[in-house]
Amino acid sequence: MNKQEKLALVESALEDFYGNQQFASSLREAVLYSIHAGGKRIRPYLLLEVLDSLQVPITQEHAQVAAALEMIHTGSLIHDDLPAMDNDDFRRGRLTNHKVYGEALAILAGDALFLDPYALIAQANLPSQTKVDLISNLSLASGSMGMVAGQVLDMEGEGQQLSLEELQTIHANKTGKLLAFPFQAAGIIAGLDENLQRQLKTVGELIGLAFQVRDDVLDVTASFEEIGKTPQKDLQAEKSTYPALLGLDQAIAFCNQTLDQANAKLEEISQVVSFDKEPIVKIVESLRING
């Protein structure tokens, strides 16, 4: 199954969940506006690709778990763009949700995308314990011990000179945990032991860190057309970023070094379990800057 086929399964899972919803049609429209905004779908794709690398045949149930993850990520983008947060007019190359539907409906669309995923996983035809583990870990990655906490720390850090350790703590939660979840979830679905699940999760955490450093670099070097959102927003908000803290060249080097660590961990895993690391390495390499 190639990338397009995997992502088509995810799109199908999203459409099946919202397609026949009859209540609050304006809410459905706002939700689907952001879901259909596109993006790379890197989180759901990673989940299905890691399963494939573990030689687990991809099913619609796996696509439902991947879709649930994408729903939470999309909801976070809606809220992140609100005037009370990053106050951005564009996301993925078009107007942000609140610019089209107003702040109140955008907030509620984000709320729906935070809550609906758990129903989607619960409905999946997977073993009960697998679903419990997936729901538990997705909640921990998303809520007050993960992404939401990271967003709070990020806002509190505006206008301050943070240390590298403080910056990494923010992004380990704000960005890293939702990028680590696909690896952890694949381990859960594949029935791997806890040690291998932790090793896979570490790969995701390293990719999440590199992803954030790369995002910070692009914020100061890329155009609107390249990133699909307003550039230099972090600079205007006086946020601590990796280029601001390390300098642009060192931030790029740090990103690439982190990706090297992810590749090394993938090699370790491939030595102890049947795991085709090459497709994941290809994704890792796609994040490399000037590489």
Q: Write phi, then psi, for 90 (nearest 5 degrees).
A: -130, 145
Q: Rounded to a whole number, what is the distance in angstroms from the first to the last CA of the chain?
A: 27
* CA separation for the pair 81, 90 (Å, rounded): 8
Q: Model confidence at 71, in pLDDT bands (50, 70, 90)?
A: very high
* CA separation for the pair 265, 120 (Å, rounded): 31
Which pLDDT score is estimated for 140? 97
* CA separation for the pair 213, 285 (Å, rounded): 14
Q: What is the mean pLDDT of residues 29-35?
A: 95
Domains of the chain: 3-286 (1.10.600.10)
**The three-state (H, E, C) secondary structure of the chain, written as one string:** CCHHHHHHHHHHHHHHHHHCCCCCHHHHHHHHHHHCCCCCCHHHHHHHHHHHHCCCCCCHHHHHHHHHHHHHHHHHHHHHCCCCCCCCCEECCEECHHHHHCHHHHHHHHHHHHHHHHHHHHHCCCCHHHHHHHHHHHHHHHCCCCHHHHHHHHHHCCCCCCCHHHHHHHHHHHHHHHHHHHHHHHHHHHCCCHHHHHHHHHHHHHHHHHHHHHHHHHHHHCCHHHHCCCCCHHHHCCCCCHHHHHCHHHHHHHHHHHHHHHHHHHHHHHHHCCCCCHHHHHHHHHCCCCC
Sign, CA dihedral 156-162-164-166, equals: negative
Least confident of 119-128, 151-160, 252-261: 151-160
Count of CB atoms situated within 10 Å of the CB of 121? 22
Percent of the chain with pLDDT over 90: 79
> Residues 55-69: pLDDT tens digits?
999 999 999 999 999
**Cβ 96 vs Cβ 90: under 8 Å:** yes
Which pLDDT score is estimated for 222? 67
* CA separation for the pair 89, 167 (Å, rounded): 26
Estimate the crossing angle of helix 42-53 against helix 60-80, to 10 degrees: 150
Q: Model confidence at 197, in pLDDT bands (50, 70, 90)?
A: very high
Which pLDDT score is estimated for 101? 97
> Residues 212-237: pLDDT tens digits?
999 999 988 866 555 555 655 655 55
Query: Average pLDDT over the chain, rounded to whole?
Result: 91
Q: Model confidence at 160, in pLDDT bands (50, 70, 90)?
A: confident
* CA separation for the pair 6, 58 (Å, rounded): 8
